[in-house]
Amino acid sequence: MKHERICLISLGCPKNLVDSEVMLGLLAEKGYGITPKPSHADIILINTCSFIKEATQETLDTIHEAVELKKSGSCHRVVVVGCLPQRYGSDLAREIPEVDFFLGTEEFPRIVEYLEGDPDHQKRVAVERTSFLYDHETPRLLSGHFYSAYIKIAEGCSRSCSFCIIPSLRGRFRSRPLESICEEALRLADQGVREINLVAQDTTSYGLDLQNGTNLAALLEALGRIEGIAWIRVLYAYPEHIDSRLLRRIKNSEKICNYIDLPIQHINERILRAMGRPVSRRFLERLILKIRDEIPGVSIRTTLMVGFPGESAVEFSELIDFVERIRFERLGVFEFSPEEGTQAERMVKQIPGSVKKKRRERLMQLQQRISLEHHCELIGKKVLVLAEGPVGDKDTVKGRMATQAPDIDGQVMITKGSASPGQIVTVRITEAYPYDLEGEIV
Ligand code: SF4
């Protein structure tokens, strides 16, 4: 039995979080202790994100804080895993000699070997490709709330968006077998998980590479039969491959949340083409109409990117008009980040940072108004809410509707009535704000 304590800091997206939870599972199985506090740890493990510049900077800051703890003698090893070492492993190894290992995106399943192997016979930087895909047998320790979990249904991405570094870090798209995903969901349900969120770089391509007729609709159908799971939510639904069968599956199942996370990035034809997105404005408009038509009451979330090279004021206005007209229920906006090694980094007419910032703010302000209007329509209505727990030491309990994904969307503050974490309760909405709602249990 090991007595060393590990603190795993998971940065970035929910897909990274699943990798972190697999590492925690492997380490816990070997008897390592787990602590959430870096200052209490013997070993600090950082699972990194390097999707855009800000994420890279946050990651570097976190590594330097861990290195300071090592220098002070508080911990004795620091290990850096994931996207950042996959991208800059050798440079980082030169610049940060205090870090013991830099392990790429597919080395993390071997974390125990690295920690327990003979340091004289181990590489300090390991970023080889192995096409690893975890399965239901892989140990995994949930790090968040016991009632909610992400399931990664595929790894990698075979698309070629000109601004994105992910395919070169994570490899080609590869789906997990349907049976393995269902088995994992079954095990999670046995542990008390009530809500699962399906993630991948591109969930709507799920199964196509398996060439056995499996697809996302079939997966949802199978997952919908698992007892104990109350809500299934699909995130990162690339607009292509969303068809009537998938929409009907979502509409006809009580368990599948009426929520579509549809990252479209932009709406101007020229920009969509320059981004390497194979869908046109017309396609996206029709798709959104079709989604709303087939799933009444659906909430559509999208992600937009402003300040792509050459984005003119007119092209940006087109995006503003589009958002005003479509009235997405939820929306996130990124500023374009010229990532080293991408096509878009080399494009001419890069947009100044101040312009990107203003454009983002403008869109966010517009969306705040639209979100508030959507939320006001809910006042007086009854909705189902998954309770998450008390807010501070107040009597208020926070929770989420099926149309609010964890961490990215708002919450419902329940000001009257009580509910335990993981319980799904009926709430009458009493107040609306741009991000959150307030309500009372009925
Ligand atoms: S779909 Fe495009 S943006 Fe998303 S991970 Fe793949 S290449 Fe990147």
User: Which secondary-structure segment (H or E) carries 333?
Assistant: strand 330-335
Residues 217 and 243: their CA atoms lie apart, in Å, by 9
Q: What is the dihedral of CA 218, 224, 225, 227, to 10 degrees?
A: 150
pLDDT band at 117 (very low <50, low <70, confident <90, very high): confident
Give the position, in ligand 1's atom list, of the atom nearest the Cα of 167.
Answer: 7
| Sign of the dihedral through C-alpha 174, 180, 184, 189 | positive
Q: Give me ligand 1 centre to Cα 226, in Å.
A: 30
- Mutation test of ligand 1: which of 13, 163, 164 has the most ligand atoms closer than 8 Å to its C-beta? 164
Q: Are 188 and 232 in contact (CB under 8 A)?
A: no
Pick the more confident residue, 135 or 370.
370
Asked whether residue 281 falls in the same domain as residue 363, the answer is: yes
Query: Is 70 exceeded by the pLDDT of residue 363?
Result: yes
What is the pLDDT at residue 119? 73
pLDDT tens-place string over residues 204-227: 999 999 999 999 999 999 999 999
pLDDT band at 395 (very low <50, low <70, confident <90, very high): confident
pLDDT band at 130 (very low <50, low <70, confident <90, very high): low
What is the pLDDT at residue 53? 84
Q: Give me ligand 1 centre to Cα 248, in Å.
A: 26
Q: Give me ligand 1 centre to Cα 338, in Å.
A: 15
Asked whether residue 60 falls in the same domain as residue 170, the answer is: no
What is the pLDDT at residue 422? 95
Identify the residues whose C-beta falls under 6 Å from ligand 1. 157, 159, 161, 164, 166-167, 201-202, 238
What is the pLDDT at residue 239? 94
Q: Characterise 407 by phi-psi region: left (phi > 0), alpha (psi -120 to 50), beta (else).
A: left
Give the position, in ligand 1's atom list, of the atom nearest the Cα of 157.
Answer: 6
Residues 337 and 296: their CA atoms lie apart, in Å, by 36
Strand order from edge to edge, sheet including 330-335? 259-261, 299-306, 330-335
Residues 230 and 252: their CA atoms lie apart, in Å, by 14
Asked whether residue 355 falls in the same domain as residue 403, the answer is: no
Q: Give me ligand 1 centre to Cα 389, in Å.
A: 34
What is the pLDDT at residue 380? 97
CATH number at residue 363: 3.80.30.20
DSSP letters along 185-205, please? Answer: HHHHHHTT--EEEEE-SSGGG
| Range of weakest confidence among 112-121, 155-164, 311-320 | 112-121
Asked whether residue 97 falls in the same domain as residue 164, the answer is: no
pTM value? Answer: 0.93
- Mean pLDDT over the full length of the chain: 93
Confirm whether 168 is domain-assigned: yes
Among 66, 95, 126, which residue terminates a domain? 126
What is the pLDDT at residue 168? 87
Q: Give me ligand 1 centre to Cα 217, in Å.
A: 21
Helices (H), 83-123: 83-95, 111-116
Asked whether residue 308 falls in the same domain as residue 188, the answer is: yes
Give the position, in ligand 1's atom list, of the atom nearest the Cα of 276.
Answer: 2
Q: How many CA atoms lie within 13 A of 280 on its CB side?
A: 3
Give the position, in ligand 1's atom list, of the atom nearest the Cα of 160.
Answer: 7
For atom 4 of ligand 1, the residue with the nearest CA is 201
What is the rounded average pLDDT of the residues 387-399? 88
Among 324, 345, 376, which residue terminates a domain? 376
What is the pLDDT at residue 110? 87
Q: Give me ligand 1 centre to Cα 158, in Å.
A: 8
For atom 8 of ligand 1, the residue with the nearest CA is 164
pLDDT band at 2 (very low <50, low <70, confident <90, very high): low
Asked whether residue 72 falls in the same domain as residue 87, the answer is: yes
Q: Are 117 and 54 in contact (CB under 8 A)?
A: no
User: How many Cβ atoms from other residues are within 10 Å of residue 2's Cβ?
Assistant: 15
Confirm whether 250 is domain-assigned: yes
Give the position, in ligand 1's atom list, of the atom nearest the Cα of 238.
Answer: 1
| Range of weakest confidence among 53-67, 115-129, 165-179, 342-356 | 115-129
Query: Is 90 exceeded by the pLDDT of residue 266?
Result: yes
Token duo for residue 1: 């039995």
- Mutation test of ligand 1: which of 83, 87, 159 has the most ligand atoms closer than 8 Å to its C-beta? 159
Confirm whether 131 is domain-assigned: no
| Range of weakest confidence among 81-85, 118-122, 170-174, 219-223 | 118-122
Confirm whether 136 is domain-assigned: no
Angle at the Cα of 253 from the Cα atoms of 382 and 433, rounded to 5 degrees: 35
Asked whether residue 52 falls in the same domain as residue 201, the answer is: no
Query: Is 70 exceeded by the pLDDT of residue 65?
Result: yes
Q: Give me ligand 1 centre to Cα 166, in Å.
A: 6
Among 357, 376, 395, which residue terminates a domain? 376
Confirm whether 142 is domain-assigned: no
Asked whether residue 368 falls in the same domain as residue 386, the answer is: no
Asked whether residue 190 falls in the same domain as residue 45, the answer is: no
Asked whether residue 113 falls in the same domain as residue 163, the answer is: no
CATH number at residue 64: 3.40.50.12160
Q: Are strands 437-441 and 424-432 parallel, antiparallel or unpaired?
A: antiparallel
Asked whether residue 165 falls in the same domain as residue 309, the answer is: yes
- Mutation test of ligand 1: which of 16, 87, 157 has the most ligand atoms closer than 8 Å to its C-beta? 157
Confirm whether 134 is domain-assigned: no
Q: Are 291 and 300 in contact (CB under 8 A)?
A: yes
Confirm whether 58 is domain-assigned: yes
Secondary structure (3-state) at 253 = coil
Residues 114 and 70: their CA atoms lie apart, in Å, by 18
Q: How far is CA 25 from the centre of its chain?
A: 20
Give the position, in ligand 1's atom list, of the atom nearest the Cα of 170.
Answer: 5
Q: Give me ligand 1 centre to Cα 163, in Å.
A: 8
Query: Is 80 exceeded by the pLDDT of residue 201?
Result: yes
For atom 2 of ligand 1, the residue with the nearest CA is 161
- Total domains in the chain come to 3
Q: Give me ligand 1 centre to Cα 201, in Å.
A: 6
Q: Give me ligand 1 centre to Cα 161, in Å.
A: 6
Q: What is the dihedral of CA 182, 185, 190, 194, to 10 degrees?
A: -140
Confirm whether 102 is domain-assigned: yes
Asked whether residue 324 falls in the same domain as residue 415, the answer is: no
For residue 120, what are the domain limits? 5-126
Q: Are 207 and 215 in contact (CB under 8 A)?
A: yes
Nearest to 429 by CA among 395, 408, 404, 401: 401
DSSP letters along 143-173, please? Answer: -S-TTEEEEE-EES-----TT--HHHHH-S-
Query: Is 60 exceeded by the pLDDT of residue 1?
Result: no
What is the pLDDT at residue 186? 97
Hunting for tokens 């349907």 — which residue is that?
178
What is the pLDDT at residue 394? 75
